[in-house]
């Protein structure tokens, strides 16, 4: 028996000679051979790029909330204006992430309508593989929606703490204001008592008493105006906090509803995939039954022909 010979080197040399004859240079030939060994990475589809970008945005939002958590909760670290700026930044982040998720959802709907989904080998798949890819994309959007909802829920808890602190600061001022309005006559008497020792042992004259009463009335009115302005500022802050909390809760509710809708679509896509698989099984069974009936019919015709020939020979 003749021994086998490895002629791989001869084959490579023949390819090299042919490439040089058709105009390939040594550097270009080396690049072609290197491309056979080190394949270029496949380009990511637009849906994958958009999903990764959305995930990066949600992660950046989570890092932003974690970074400013202590500053937002602690009353003495930053001012109210800076807290409002943090809330504005978070709102912008959430809106951008929600818009990106809506774009992903619209991309899935367009692919489902057009039916142009391709497999990971960039070849057109059948209906079953197409349904699997659509279901996978629905699952990706569902995961992103749940991640965004969990991050917004964290900021909702921080906002509720700020709102509770604002209420706790406002309640004592309201009580003081009520005491001032309910007992305005007590303050002039107390203040008059405090100013009386300044006059020494001298008996106050009517003119001096009128001046003291006027001073006390002016001080009382100024104090009432200051307390009223503080109360109005607190009430305005509470109103803004309630509005912001309602808006954020509404946005979180919409995100959760969208997550539920995506989950429902995902379940429908999985169910459609199962139906396609069941249909393929039934088609296979029908093909087998058809082939069996065809075999039985051929056998029946063969036996009938043989019987006729036998009867003719017998007669």
**pLDDT digits over 169-179, tens only?**
666 544 444 44
Could you give the number of structural domains in the chain? 2
pLDDT of residue 56: 92
- In this predicted structure, the answer to whether residue 277 has a pLDDT above a threshold of 50 is yes
Q: Which has more confidence, 289 or 3?
A: 289
pLDDT of residue 115: 63
| Domain end residue (candidates: 182, 209, 235) | 182
pLDDT of residue 124: 46
- State how far the alpha carbon of 74 is from the alpha carbons of 68, 83, 158, 163, 179, in Å: 10, 10, 10, 12, 30
> Domain range spanning residue 213?
184-221
Q: Is 115 left (phi over 0), alpha (psi -120 to 50) or beta?
A: left
DSSP 95-152: HHHHHHHHHHHHHHHHHHHHT--B-TTSSB--HHHHHHHHHHHHHHHHHHHHHHHHHH
Band of residue 39 on the pLDDT scale cut at 50, 70, 90: low
**Same domain flag for 52 and 93:** yes
Choose the weakest-confidence range: 35-44, 96-105, 132-141, 292-301: 35-44
Band of residue 59 on the pLDDT scale cut at 50, 70, 90: very high
Q: Is 31 part of a structural domain of the chain?
A: no
Q: d(Cα 253, Cα 160) in Å, to the nearest integer? A: 16
- In this predicted structure, the answer to whether residue 246 has a pLDDT above a threshold of 60 is yes
Q: d(Cα 240, Cα 233) in Å, to the nearest integer? A: 11
Q: How many other CB atoms are there within 10 angstroms of residue 267's CB atom?
A: 13
Q: Which residue has the tokens 């692919």?
A: 111
Band of residue 186 on the pLDDT scale cut at 50, 70, 90: very low
**Same domain flag for 94 and 118:** yes
**Same domain flag for 166 and 188:** no
């Amino acid at each position: 028996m003749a021994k086998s010979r490895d002629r791989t080197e001869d084959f490579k040399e023949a390819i090299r000679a042919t490439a040089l004859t058709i105009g390939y240079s040594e550097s270009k030939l080396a690049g072609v051979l290197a491309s056979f060994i080190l394949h270029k990475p496949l380009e990511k589809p637009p849906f994958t790029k958009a999903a990764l970008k959305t995930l990066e945005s949600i992660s950046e939002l989570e890092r932003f909330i974690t970074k400013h958590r202590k500053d937002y909760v602690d009353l003495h670290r930053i001012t109210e204006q800076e807290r409002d700026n943090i809330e504005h930044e978070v709102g912008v982040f959430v809106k951008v992430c929600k818009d990106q998720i809506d774009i992903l959802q619209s991309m899935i709907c367009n692919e489902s309508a057009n039916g142009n989904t391709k497999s990971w080998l960039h070849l057109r798949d059948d209906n079953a593989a197409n349904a699997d890819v659509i279901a996978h994309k629905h699952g990706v959007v569902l995961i992103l929606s749940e991640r965004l909802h969990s991050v917004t829920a964290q900021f909702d808890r921080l906002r509720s703490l700020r709102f509770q602190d604002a209420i706790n600061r406002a309640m004592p001022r309201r009580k003081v204001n009520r005491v001032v309005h309910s007992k305005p006559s007590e303050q002039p008497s107390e203040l008059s008592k405090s100013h009386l020792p300044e006059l020494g042992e001298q008996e106050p004259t009517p003119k001096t008493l009128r001046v003291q009463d006027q001073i006390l009335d002016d001080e009382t009115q100024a104090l009432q105006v200051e307390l009223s302005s503080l109360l109005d500022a607190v009430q305005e802050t509470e109103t803004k906090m309630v509005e912001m909390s309602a808006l954020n809760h509404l946005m979180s509710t919409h995100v959760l509803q969208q997550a539920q809708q995506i989950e429902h679509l995902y379940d429908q896509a999985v169910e459609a995939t199962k139906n396609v698989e069941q249909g393929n099984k039934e088609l296979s069974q029908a093909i087998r039954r058809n082939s069996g009936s065809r075999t039985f019919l051929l056998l029946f015709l063969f036996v009938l022909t043989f019987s006729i020939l036998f009867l003719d020979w017998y007669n």
